[in-house]
Structures are given as structure tokens and as C-alpha cells.
Amino acid sequence: MRTDEGPLVSGYHAAEWLVWNWWRLLCEPRSASNGWDLAHCMASIGEGYVWPNITIWSDGLRTAIIPSPSSRPDAKPFRYIGGPATVIPSSIFADVLDSFIPKIIARLRLQNVSETNLDRLWSDVLVERADPEISRCRRLEALLGLDPDSNSEQVISELVKDAETLGEPVVDELAAESAQNRGQHVLSAAALWHIAEEQGAEVVTKDVLRPYGELKVLRGPDVPAWKVGETAARQIRSQEHLSAGLLSSAKLAEMAGASGDVLQPSSRGGSNVSFVFETSSKKARLVLRSKWATGRRFDLARLIADRLFSDGGIVYPATRANTYRQKAQRAFAAELLSPFGEVDDMVAGDFSEERKQEVADYFDVSPLTIDTLLRNHGLPRDAETYTAIA
């Protein structure tokens, strides 16, 4: 099979697509929102060119650039073979766009072409980025899986208002969760309060796990979220002198300042998200989404993590979104409940679904948790793994 560098494509149309989707590419995590692929996969650009099947998305701090093979194995006249994923700080990706787009505009000027659609779009983006209020609205639109000016003024206005109570970081997480659920209405501060009062279990704030000192965990765009969560969980396991093997539900609930009853299987889930809502300086209400014991254990561990990672607030959410914050929570929960070293020893090179189920049963977690732990560590060796972005 002969491989070539690929066809020539239009820099103008690439720039136009990048600018139109600027906010979604820089702010929106991977999700199931309608039209997500159109805003994140370059193969959707069209315009008569054979574009590479490259998907671009951000978890809020890090941008993943994932080249995949052409969707059709008999694609003609060119078939892309894909390549390894690249993950960079989102600020660097933005800098690259800030360099590339003006170069395309400058080439148009050399050809005496002015006042194009690209010019208008880029001018709008620059104005939006310079205005903190507009920038905030565009970011929320992107997290909701919406294009700019999607007639979402009322929804955005409500989110901005809720941010005064919940804080902008929490509203961002709730917006991203809404997109993950295909645009389901974002839970408002009032709705969270109502669910917490009606369905929540009591948490005694003073009993919640606290690190003895500062968590020695590096966080930021240069560090994969899974590494942040894993490192923090190992520190907490050491601090709490947790023995090898299963972490009991009683101990886990104690670490969360709650009664062990909260981890019993439930006939109904509490809400679309798991969360803790601080109702006073001494009490909080805890809501767990899952009906199943393994899911409730995992989400409770995630909420313990969110308290450790967050800079205060009254709501701590654990959602299904793929933001940096949520990925760090998941990694913390996986390592706290099923330490990789012990998992690796138990798997002993047998990566069959049956063996992963046995290990999951032992630690009282789901097989997906075990599978993700292994993949984060590049196991099995021939598995395709995106540890920095998963």
C-alpha cells in the first residue's frame, strides 16, 4: 500500500470552520449533544474537499486532536489511515488559531480579496473574546452544545443568574451535563435545592474527610486529569491508613460525613446528577444518581474528591460530562476504591472480560472502572488508549 502526504485542501474553508466553531472547539467537551460532530470533526467541513477525519475537543484545560482512519475502508480518491492522538494545553491551541487565521486573511489580501465571510466571523470572535460578559455567554453556549446566537438568551440569562449563587465553575459543570444529556434542561439552583431537600441524605460537614495538610497534587493543562485524581487518591489512602483490598461502604460513607445507609441500593435515582448541597455551615444534603450499589459507591467517592479539589462553594456536582473536573473525580474514585497496583496484580495479564468482572466484584465497583484503570496505564499493551483525554 502506498502512502502519501494527502490531498491539498482549502485553507480558507478550514479557517472559516475553525472560526465559526471557535467557542465550541475551545470550551465544549466530548458529548452526545446534537450536531457535536459537525462542530468538532473536520470531515464535516465539506466544500468539495476530502478532509482528514480529525476530531478536536477540549475538557476545559486540555485540547485533544484525534486523527482517525477514513470512515469507509474503500474511500476514494484518498483514504486517511489516522494516527496517534495529540493532547496540548488549550491555550496553545488557541494561540495556533490566532496565528493561522490572520495568515489566511493576509493571503486573501495579497489576492485583493477583502470583506469575506471569514473576515466578518473573525472580527466577531475577537470582539466577543475582548468582552468578559459576551465571552462568558459564548462559553456557556458552547458548554450547552449550542452554536453562537442560537436563540438561547433566556437559558444563558438564567445560568448567569444562578452563577451568583452556585459559582461559575459549578454552572459550567451543569451546563456541560445538559449537553451530555442531549440538551435536557439545565438544573437550576432552585431545582437542586428542591431535590436536595426532598431526596437528599444528611451530611455532617465536620465529619467530611479533610487532608491533614495541603494535597501535593499538580493540576493544570500540562497534567492529565486522570493523573490528578489518581495521585490524590493515593495520598488519601495513605493518610487514612486504608488496608489493601475492599474499601467498606461503612468507611466510605464515614469519609463523606454520611450514614452508611446512603449506599444501599435505591428503588429510584435521586436526579440526573449526584451532588452535595451545603444547607448551612454544619449540614449538607447528599443526592446520589445511581440506583445500584456500585454506582452509588463510585459517585460518593467522586463527591469526596470534588470537595478536595474545589475552592469552596455550596454545591459539589458529579456529572456525566467529560470536563477536566469530572475526569479527575472519576480517576480519584477508581483509585480510591480499586487501587491500580492491586488490580494489576489480580488481573495478572489476563484481560478477559470474565477476569475484569471478577476483579470488579471483589472491589465492589463496575467492570468499566477496572477497564478504565487498566487503559489509563496502557494495559493491555496493544490496546488503543487515550489516557490524557479519556
What is the per-residue pLDDT across 174-194, written as a single tens digit (0 to 9) for each? 999 988 776 568 899 999 999
Does residue 388 register a pLDDT over 50? no
Question: What is the mean predicted confidence (pLDDT) over 137-143?
Answer: 95
Q: How far apart are CA 13 and CA 116, in angstroms?
A: 11
Treating both helix axes as pointing N-terminal to C-terminal, what angle do 132-143 and 153-166 enclose, rounded to 10 degrees? 100
Nearest to 297 by CA among 306, 288, 307: 288
Provide the total of helices (H) and of strands (E) in the chain, helices listed first.
16, 7
Per residue in 341-380, pLDDT (tens digit) is 999 999 999 999 999 999 999 999 999 999 999 998 888 8
Question: What is the mean predicted confidence (pLDDT) over 155-180?
Answer: 94
Per residue in 126-137, pLDDT (tens digit) is 999 999 999 999
From the centroid of its chain, how far is CA 99?
27
Question: What is the mean predicted confidence (pLDDT) over 196-203?
Answer: 94
- What is the predicted pLDDT for the residue at 387? 45
- Residue 292 DSSP label: S
Does residue 334 register a pLDDT over 80? yes
Per residue in 247-292, pLDDT (tens digit) is 999 999 999 999 989 999 886 655 889 999 999 989 999 999 999 9
Map out the domains of the chain as residue ranges: 11-134, 189-376
Question: What is the mean predicted confidence (pLDDT) over 140-152?
Answer: 88
Nearest to 257 by CA among 212, 216, 303: 303
- Average of per-residue pLDDT values in the chain: 91
- What is the predicted pLDDT for the residue at 224? 95
- What is the predicted pLDDT for the residue at 308? 93
- What is the predicted pLDDT for the residue at 267? 67
Q: How far apart are CA 367 and CA 364, in angstroms?
A: 9
- What is the predicted pLDDT for the residue at 218? 82
**CB-count burial class (<10 Å; 0-12, 13-18, 19+) for 198:** exposed
Q: How far apart are CA 55 and CA 65, in angstroms?
A: 6
- What is the predicted pLDDT for the residue at 75? 63
Question: What is the mean predicted confidence (pLDDT) over 329-346?
Answer: 97
- What is the predicted pLDDT for the residue at 371? 93
- What is the predicted pLDDT for the residue at 7? 76
